[in-house]
Amino acid sequence: MPSRQDQTQLYVVTVFERRHVNRLREVFISRLGKWGDPASDKSVIPFMTEYGRCLGYTHQWQGSQHQDLQPSCMASVDDPVEYGRANDMGWRTFRTKLESDPLLPNEIICPYPKVQCVDCGMCDGKDSKFKKNIAVNAHGVRYKVNRYKEYRTQLELPVV
């Protein structure tokens, strides 16, 4: 197994490679945490954010040990109370809502599916050129939408 130093050296980029990487920076967008929450493995974030724009969402935004994710990740929130708490802590938010719910202050609706995430890039954390919070209507397979509605009912939030 290679040593930690050998592993680090794998990521050294030559001047020639960096020139090409820099050309890709404006078009390359990757999703942090494609297979889970980015807070569970932060080791790749510096590499990913150096070589392109990243979209990321974390449900672990409340933990003090995860505040360093604010520049590159959105706080994934499920209700107005979490939205307010995350904003108070300095996070931009990505909030799931019902279609009948109004947008909250400083919030816009996610343009998906009209615009694909790779073309949009608004969910790239606090350091983004976009400053608004993002809301998305609950969508997808019926059981997930129903599960969200049940969650809302448990919180005694209106379900229309």
Q: How does residue 7 score in pLDDT terms, banded at 50, 70 and 90?
A: very low
How confident is the model at residue 11, as a pLDDT?
Answer: 52
Mean pLDDT of 120-149: 89
Tell me the DSSP string of 65-122.
GGGGGTTT-EEEESSHHHHHHHHHTT--EEEEE-TTSPPPTTEEE--TTTS-HHHH--
d(CA 58, CA 32): 9
Task: Please count the structural domains in the chain.
Answer: 1
Domain range for 123: 11-154
Does 5 map to a domain?
no
Q: What tokens were used for 131?
A: 């400053």
Does 4 map to a domain?
no
Does 121 map to a domain?
yes
**Which residues are paired to 95 by β-bridges?**
77, 135
Q: Could you tell me which residue, 113 or 131, shows the higher pLDDT?
A: 131
Residue-wise pLDDT tens digits, 16-41 = 666 655 555 554 556 565 556 767 66
Look up the pTM and report it: 0.71
Does 2 map to a domain?
no
